[in-house]
Amino acid sequence: MNLWAHEFRLLMRQRLPMAALALLTILTVASLALGIAEVSRQRDAISAIPAAQSQDIAAVADYIDSTKDAGSAAYYSYHPTWDSPSPLAFAALGMRDVSPYILRVRALGLEAQIYDGDTFNPELALTGHLDFAFVLVFLAPLFVIALFHDIVSGEREAGRQRMLEALPHGGTALWQRRGALRLILLWAGLALPFVVAAGLEGVSVGPILAIGALIAAYLLFWVGLAALVSRFRRSSVANAAILAAAWLLLVLVLPTLANVAINATVPVHQGAEIALAHREEVNRAWDIPREDTMRRFYAHHPEWSGSAPLGPDFHYKWYLAFHQNGDESVAPQVHAYRAGLESREAAARTVGILLPSVGAQMLLTQMANTDLSAQLRYQDRIRAFHKRLRTFYYGYLFNDLPFGRKDFDRVPEFDSRT
């Protein structure tokens, strides 16, 4: 039996480290199972879209076909957009936890539709999901502390340190071997279940290796901290207390303070304010001359200016025009909001360089495509789709073309990849 096997047997006989390793593995498996279940639920919801959409269109098609009114078609029909989870999303749910991943849009004003859903679901935001990223970033350091706080001090307190250090393979080599074994087992407790889950989810080898390396690097940081604390030759209890305080500081307090500082430095209005401003602008259109609305619309969209003048009756082209005017009136706020969010994310990335907990979390959500950037890219895809949708309906409205049942087949469809 070699020294590693002896160390392994010694560890296997110790209740606390083995219980800690078992608990970490159980938490990892549970988090992965919950992540897979959540992503599976989201995939199911997305895969149910075509059938639901067919039902929705069928429900309005008769009425539209009877009126041949493209405006009614634009008003009454919703068109689904969705953000399919990446293969790695199960590991870090990130923004998918609280932000919409399905948005049904109409050809009306878009910004209110996007930002109506911007307010996070407070119940979800409060509790969050137990995902792999949470286990790695928040819980794994506690297990490092449990396994590493007394590697040397425990032997000193048991009266074995000097005897062990007096042996040829004792001393530093022994502490390193013990530390390495515990690190490997902690890594295995996190990484092996992840590899199995990633295999089930069809994740390619590159991201699996990258996350394996990320787990190792994050654990190494905490092991290094534990080794540094053990150099002060304090008691095991003192070591544990110092490391627990460091965990509190590095994982909870400093990231929270950094978040507060970033929010104070980069003030960003809430998306709901944009939705409200858009709604007010749209409502104001009912109180101003319709010609003013159309003049403003044609100034920005001369391609439709050849359309027949408005008659005395209600016409959807006026209605959709003031919705688009509403979108354009809040465009500077939308731009500022997005720029603010991007600035905050850039600042958070800088914090991530200094705080490993923040850095690991950001890397995971970035690789899983569940970070803020992914959410903004989804909004870009919605905007591009909405533009196609508007153009499609405007073609009927501004040219006074009839819209029948068959025309629903020509409605643009959302492509989640573009």
Partner 1 sequence: MPNIDPILISDLTLDYGGGDLVLDGLSLAVPAGSITALLGGNGAGKSTTLAALLGFARPRSGAITVCGIDPVMDPDLARRRMAYLPENVALYEHLTAMENAEYLLALSGERVPVAGIEDALAAAALQKRAWHQRLGGFSKGMRQKVAIAVALLREVPVLLLDEPTSGLDPRATADFNQLLIEVRARGAAVLMVTHDLLSAADIADRIAFLEAGRVAYEVAASGAERFDVRGLHARFQLTAERLAA
CB of 350 to partner 1, least distance (A): 43
Q: Which is nearer to partner 1, 4 or 286 (CB)?
A: 4
| Whether the Cβ atoms of residue 154 and residue 46 lie closer than 8 Å to each other | no
**Residue 335 touching partner 1 (CB under 8 A):** no
DSSP code string of 65-88: HHHT-HHHHHHH--EEEE-PPPTT
CB of 178 to partner 1, least distance (A): 11
Please identify which residue in 10, 58, 257, 346 interacts with partner 1, judged by CB under 8 A: 10
Q: Kindly give the interhelix angle for 236-247 and 140-148, rounded to the nearest 10 degrees.
A: 160
Binding marks (x or -) toward partner 1, 171..210, rule CB under 8 A? ---x------------------------------------
Number of shown-chain residues binding partner 1 (CB under 8 A): 21
Tokens 């439709």 correspond to 304
CB of 417 to partner 1, least distance (A): 57
Say how far apart CA 81 and CA 3 lie, in whole Å.
Answer: 59
**Residue 252 touching partner 1 (CB under 8 A):** no
Say how far apart CA 141 and CA 11 lie, in whole Å.
Answer: 19
**Residue 14 touching partner 1 (CB under 8 A):** yes
Q: Which is nearer to partner 1, 170 or 340 (CB)?
A: 170
The β-bridge partners of 82 are: 102
Q: Which of 70, 57, 76 is nearest to 315 (CA)?
A: 70
Sequence-distant (≥ 6) Cβ neighbours of residue 171 within 8 angstroms: 164, 165
Q: Which is nearer to partner 1, 32 or 174 (CB)?
A: 174
**Residue 3 touching partner 1 (CB under 8 A):** yes
Q: Which is nearer to partner 1, 2 or 55 (CB)?
A: 2
Handedness of CA 334, 339, 343, 346 (dihedral sign): positive
Q: CB atoms < 10 A from the CB of 227, how many? A: 15
**Residue 21 touching partner 1 (CB under 8 A):** no
Q: Which is nearer to partner 1, 157 or 303 (CB)?
A: 157
**Residue 233 touching partner 1 (CB under 8 A):** no
CB of 83 to partner 1, least distance (A): 52
Q: Which is nearer to partner 1, 163 or 217 (CB)?
A: 163
Q: Which is nearer to partner 1, 17 or 255 (CB)?
A: 17
**Residue 22 touching partner 1 (CB under 8 A):** no
Maximum Cα interatomic distance, the chain, rounded to a whole number of Å:
101
CB of 6 to partner 1, least distance (A): 5
**Residue 410 touching partner 1 (CB under 8 A):** no
Query: Given the rule CB under 8 A, which of 7-15, 85-93, 103-111, 245-253 is the region that contacts partner 1?
Result: 7-15
**Residue 289 touching partner 1 (CB under 8 A):** no
**Residue 41 touching partner 1 (CB under 8 A):** no
Tokens 């493209």 correspond to 70
Q: Which is nearer to partner 1, 160 or 377 (CB)?
A: 160
Say how far apart CA 375 and CA 9 lie, in whole Å.
Answer: 48
Q: What is the DSSP letter of 56?
A: H
Query: Number of helices (H) and strands (E), helices first, in the chain?
Result: 20, 2
Say how far apart CA 87 and CA 167 lie, in whole Å.
Answer: 50
Query: Given the rule CB under 8 A, which of 6-14, 20-28, 218-226, 257-265 is the region that contacts partner 1?
Result: 6-14
Handedness of CA 189, 191, 195, 201 (dihedral sign): positive
| Whether the Cβ atoms of residue 153 and residue 236 lie closer than 8 Å to each other | yes
Binding marks (x or -) toward partner 1, 137..176, rule CB under 8 A? ---------------------xxx-xxxxxxxxx---x--
Q: Which is nearer to partner 1, 156 or 338 (CB)?
A: 156
Sequence-distant (≥ 6) Cβ neighbours of residue 9 within 8 angstroms: 1
Q: Which is nearer to partner 1, 19 or 299 (CB)?
A: 19
* 291, two tokens: 């010609």
Q: Which residues bind partner 1 (CB under 8 A)?
A: 1-3, 6, 9-10, 13-14, 158-160, 162-170, 174
